[in-house]
Structure 1
Amino acid sequence: MPKKYALAPCNGMSPNGLVSRVATGDCKKENENVISICMGSTSADIEGTNDEMLKKFPIISICGCQGNCVTKILENRGIDIYKTINVEEILKDEKVSAKDPFRLDNESEQCVEIIKKELNKIVTE
């Protein structure tokens, strides 16, 4: 049985935040050893109700921009992060970019595929 991973996508209102969430959803659909974390719930959980679950699996933080909010939120809760990927950083040398925080066009879908490929490398190693 492969190791199970938890993906923590950016919930920011940026084009790369959307790319992060869609790539996470696609990766989860394609890999039965992947779960996803709701960062809104994690941020709002001031009682620490979810902390035990957050420590159960290696977490891959998927940040949309250089703000690295996902990583900061998890670290501020005392949660260890297995790996962080930054969508903005990965896409900076690509010939495609996402432009709309609410809809995916063809170019945004290409961004999703690039990020999903990065995620799949990690969850299948």
Structure 2
Amino acid sequence: MEEEFALAACSGMSPNGLVARVAVHDLAIDDHEIVSICMGSTSADVEGFTRVLNKYPILAINGCEGNCVGKILKDKGVDVIDELNVGDILAETEYKANDAARLDDEGEICVKIVKNTIENKINEIELE
């Protein structure tokens, strides 16, 4: 990765929201060029957390068709470079997340699929 990216994951209480959070967390741990945004702190305008909002290109990772992450960021005046939807990503597979609080084996597979999709999207953005 050539530049830093910020990923903003769904913080909703749905199975896909959990997959989004785990995928973003894993990517941020694995790659020092990826910053994870806390959507709770963003919504609450917590000082320190909101400074990152205009510092890096942001990719919104929504859990469902509500697209709350993108809407919250846009309401805060933040430009989002692109949005992904976990529900749409997983709809193209035979896998689905099953719990909003814990990942089972199938949920872990979902995380891998979503992480791969996010990495591909970041690479695509960098090539533009």
Q: Which residue number corresponds to residue 112 of structure 2? A: 113
Unaligned runs of 5+ in 2: none
What amino acid does structure 2 have at the position aligned with 1:92? Answer: A
List 4+ stretches of structure 1 deviating above 2 A: 48-53, 122-125
Q: Which residue number corresponds to residue 89 of structure 2? A: 90
Relative to structure 1, the CA distance from residue 59 to residue 94 in structure 2 (aligned partners, 3 Å threshold; closer, same or farther) is same
Instruction: Using structure 2 for the length normalisation, give the TM-score.
Output: 0.90
Q: Which residue number corresponds to residue 59 of structure 1? A: 58
1:38-59 per-position Cα deviation (integer Å, ceiling 9, x unaligned): 000000117x765442011000
* Residue 32 in structure 1 maps to residue 39 in structure 2: no
Residue 61 of structure 1: CA displacement?
0.2
Relative to structure 1, the CA distance from residue 70 to residue 60 in structure 2 (aligned partners, 3 Å threshold; closer, same or farther) is same
CA contact (8 A) 1:34 1:123 kept: no
Q: Distance in 2 between matches of 1:4 and 1:61?
A: 15
Q: Distance in 2 between matches of 1:52 and 1:37?
A: 10
Unaligned runs of 5+ in 1: none
Q: Secondary structure at the match of 2:65?
A: coil
Q: State percent identity of aligned pairs.
A: 48
Q: Once structures 1 and 2 are overlaid, which stretch shifts more, 85-94 or 48-57?
A: 48-57
Q: Which residue number corresponds to residue 5 of structure 1? A: 5
Instruction: Using structure 1 for the length normalisation, give the TM-score.
Output: 0.92
Q: Superposition RMSD on alpha carbons, in Å?
A: 1.6
How many aligned positions are there?
124
CA contact (8 A) 1:64 1:87 kept: yes
Q: Distance in 2 between matches of 1:32 and 1:122?
A: 17
CA contact (8 A) 2:14 2:63 kept: yes
